[in-house]
Structure 1
Amino acid sequence: MRVYIPSTLRLLGEACQAGEFGPPPLTAYAVTPALREWYAEGDDEELEYAAMAQAARASVGLLAVDPETARRRVVVACEVGAVPPANGTVELGDARLELRVVVPWSAVAAVHVDAAEAATAVGKAAELWDAARNGDDDAIFALDSCEGEDLMWYATQEIPDLLAAEGPRGGLNG
């Protein structure tokens, strides 16, 4: 099953060095029954995109609590075994699930990262994260605006170079 783990460049660098994402529980996003029911007309590609978009939004929350890392959303696409079904408290359209296992680096299929040019919009959204979660209209607008930025795709063999280029603000050197 393809899952999307929200991250930051700093956390990605730590996972790359450790060879795993953990410790559990890990919040991830996937095409859940709740998401499939909400987007009943969506094909598999659209559903995967919706799950990844929810993970990208969660990445902004991680950036909000780590002001020293590069202001770029990171979503790690991984292939994992069966994921237990939701416990019934999931809202319609929610792609979130909880992984109760360490995810080995070998499960990483690709990484999606904002372009450097998105840092201003993403940084503003991270700054206003708490206000957006509390319903502030301007903050919600800032969060929605950063979602207009496209995430770039990186193959697993490109990740070390991506992290090295980022330096101490979020990569392997940090």
Structure 2
Amino acid sequence: MRVYLPCTLSALARAVEAGELGPAPLTGYAVTPALTEWYASGDTEELEYVALTEAARASLRLLAAERPAGDAGQHAEPVKNEDGSVWVPRRVVVAAEVPDGTLTAGADLEERATVRLSRPVPMAKVASVHVDDLYAVPDVGAAVAALPASDAGDDDARFTVDGAEAHELMWYATQEIPHLLHGDH
């Protein structure tokens, strides 16, 4: 089954080094029976796009968790971390093929496309990576900064968060991952 896993550039770099995305359990997004039933008029491509979009939303939360300490959200562009690494607000979604037996999808999960993976995903199972273009960085950074207010019900902040979705993620083949991680894209 094709699963879309929310990620960040730094998490992707760690996964490449480790040879797998993990540790388990992992939350991913896929064309589940509940999603198919809910969006009955959609074809497979449309349903996969919905799952990819859900994973991109989840990537915003991962970016918020990685935001450098002391950054009060005023930055909508790359920020240098204390360790010298650079935090770049770009959503990342990893598309992987996983065996059906390694995931759970059901009514107990909060979203129709949500799945839980019981094992790490080997990098060899990665089909592609989807990443924001550099032009999206200001809007994605603003969306990350607006997440707390959006979660609290602020309509303007929600509009800012939704604005990140106006940017389409770019598709990268697996052999392009090293170039992507070294800033060549």
* TM-score (normalised: structure 1): 0.90
Identity of aligned residues (%): 54
The code of the aligned residue for 1:88 comes to A
Q: Which residue of 2 aligns with 1:17?
A: 17
2:49 corresponds to 1:49: yes
Number of residue equivalences: 166
Q: Which residue of 2 aligns with 1:29?
A: 29
Which runs of 5 or more residues in structure 1 are unaligned? 167-174
Q: What does the per-residue CA deviation read over 1:84-104, in whole Å, with 9 as the maximum and x for residues that have no partner?
A: 44342235x621111110100
Q: Which residue of 2 aligns with 1:67?
A: 67
Which runs of 5 or more residues in structure 2 are unaligned? 69-86
Cα distance between partner residues in 2 of 1:120 and 1:107: 32
Q: Which residue of 2 aligns with 1:132?
A: 150
Q: Which residue of 2 aligns with 1:2?
A: 2
- 1:98 and 1:77, CA in 2 relative to 1: closer, same or farther beyond 3 A? same
Q: CA-atom RMSD, angstroms?
A: 1.6
- 1:100 and 1:155, CA in 2 relative to 1: closer, same or farther beyond 3 A? same
Cα distance between partner residues in 1 of 2:135 and 2:146: 19
Cα distance between partner residues in 2 of 1:11 and 1:85: 23
Q: Which residue of 1 aligns with 2:109?
A: 90
Cα distance between partner residues in 2 of 1:71 and 1:85: 30
Tell me the secondary structure at the aligned position of residue 162 of structure 2. helix
Tell me the secondary structure at the aligned position of residue 131 of structure 1. helix
Once the two structures are TM-superposed, the CA of residue 14 in structure 1 deviates from its matched residue by: 0.6
Which structure's relative contact order is higher, taking Cα pairs within 8 Å and 6+ residues apart?
1
Whichever of the two has the greater Rg, that structure is 2
Residue 107 of structure 1, aligned match among 125, 129, 150: 125
Once the two structures are TM-superposed, the CA of residue 134 in structure 1 deviates from its matched residue by: 2.5
Contact between 1:34 and 1:90, CA under 8 Å: does it hold in 2?
Answer: no
2:161 corresponds to 1:146: no
Tell me the secondary structure at the aligned position of residue 47 of structure 1. helix
Contact between 2:32 and 2:113, CA under 8 Å: does it hold in 1?
Answer: yes
The code of the aligned residue for 1:42 comes to G
Moved more, 22-31 or 65-74: 65-74
Tell me the secondary structure at the aligned position of residue 78 of structure 1. strand
Tell me the secondary structure at the aligned position of residue 182 of structure 2. helix
Q: Which residue of 2 aligns with 1:170?
A: none
The code of the aligned residue for 1:163 comes to L
